[in-house]
Amino acid sequence: MKTIDELLADGVSGKRVFVRADLNVPLSDGTITDDGRIRAVLPTVKALADAGAKVVVASHLGRPKGAPDPAFSLAPAASRLGELLGSAVAFATDTVGQSAQDTVAGLGEGQVAVLENLRFNPGETSKDEAERGAFADQLAGLADVYVGDGFGAVHREHASVHDLPARLPHYAGYLIATEVGVLKKLTEDVRRPYVVALGGAKVSDKLAVIDQLLDKADRLLIGGGMAYTFLKAKGYEVGISLLQEDQIPAVTEYMERAEKQGVELLLPVDVLVSPEFPDLKTNAPTNPTTVDADKIPADQEGLDIGPKTRELYASKLADAETVFWNGPMGVFEHPDYAEGTKAVAQALVDSNGFTVVGGGDSAAAVRTLGFDENAFGHISTGGGASLEYLEGKTLPGLAALED
């Protein structure tokens, strides 16, 4: 795929450049709580603006129902982008309507505008190719060139991600080029030992990537809510812990396969339990109990990996040459259950290997728990996109940037 450096070498002064970014940031009462994704696209936007382009940034935010919804407005993201750029950013209050047209027409060389949430238009996410294409045609009318830099959305067959690049000269932005380069290091010529730590709530979200990683990784460390389905498959009582009973046959098969293939698949040996899920609004203390993983009381819920497991997992990460981590080890948002996730993050920081934090909640945890982002080899902006790439799937947004 062609990169933004090639575009800049050809010259972009005065050209309208459409940048499909991922500004899907978390909001609390209209305030951005983590601006990581905005900062991630900054190098691309700044390079284009500095080169004299008229930069049109577009993104989705959340899951509005194909119609305007103030709760999902990109206005806060546009404001934050302006702060980070150190210059005013114009904001269009629609996607392809009069405001968008007037805003783009009013841009001077080196100026930046942000369009309103693309998902306010039903054509963005439509399953109907003609409807998506019609929206892509309207978006194409706002630009001369397309730069794809919204890695967190490249696994979606959406108009701005998949259909629009076919209508304009297209290039990969700095973020996408970096993300793809990192993922290739996790799938091609991998330095070993290769250790993968997987957490998060649902094991069903990770089955396909586990299937692929069993042929690539040397060790798999399992934590988070998904661990309890594995523990149940071993015949353990898991109390009222998160459990996907319908996934037990698949989990059992993977554990047997790992043993046959010589892949270490490690499960928690102890866990923190409580009779009820913690209140994440007040973070009131819960006084959790630590129990062995095969001794979870029937009326208790596992909410984090225990101290023995933290030590075990850290030791299994210590000599890794390549690490991929996706998914927290527990309910890291509450201080009582943050230590497991903190221990894995610290083990990555202490590692001399190439460490990748696989986006989503893992990236949020790194920031929430106060880690220096520069201490990791790479923090991805797309959890779902990263997983699908590792699953071996064709990602529509990346395929669209290929010539």
- pLDDT of 383 reads 82
Is residue 202 among the annotated active site residues? yes
Q: E strands of 149-253, at which residues?
A: 170-172, 194-198, 219-222
Q: Whole-angstrom Cα distance, residue 85 to residue 50?
A: 11
Q: Whole-angstrom Cα distance, residue 77 to residue 27?
A: 10
Which is catalytic among the residues 2, 46, 167, 202?
A: 202
Per-residue pLDDT of the chain (403 residues; tens, 9 = 90+): 999 999 999 999 999 999 999 999 999 888 998 898 999 999 999 999 999 999 999 999 999 989 999 999 999 999 999 999 999 999 999 999 999 999 999 999 999 999 999 999 999 999 999 999 999 999 999 999 999 999 999 999 999 999 999 999 999 999 999 999 999 999 988 999 999 999 999 899 899 999 999 999 999 999 999 999 999 999 999 999 999 999 999 999 999 999 999 999 999 999 999 999 999 989 999 999 999 999 999 999 999 999 999 999 999 999 999 999 999 999 999 999 999 999 999 999 999 999 999 877 898 899 889 999 999 999 998 888 998 999 889 999 999 999 7
| DSSP code of residue 375 | G
Which is catalytic among the residues 37, 206, 219, 232?
A: 37
Q: What is the pTM of this model?
A: 0.89
- pLDDT of 32 reads 94
Helix axes 174-187, 36-50, angle to 10 degrees: 120
| DSSP code of residue 54 | E
The phi, psi pair for 171, rounded to 5°, reads -145, 155
Is residue 360 among the annotated active site residues? yes
- pLDDT of 143 reads 98
Q: Which helix (H) or strand (E) covers residue 101, if one does? A: helix 98-105
Which is catalytic among the residues 360, 382, 383, 397?
A: 360
289 in helix, strand or coil? Answer: strand
Which is catalytic among the residues 199, 223, 327, 384?
A: 384
- Identify which of 385, 383, 381 has the alpha carbon closest to the alpha carbon of residue 393: 385
65 in helix, strand or coil? Answer: coil
Q: Which helix (H) or strand (E) covers residue 318, if one does? A: helix 307-318
Q: Which helix (H) or strand (E) covers residue 148, if one does? A: strand 145-148
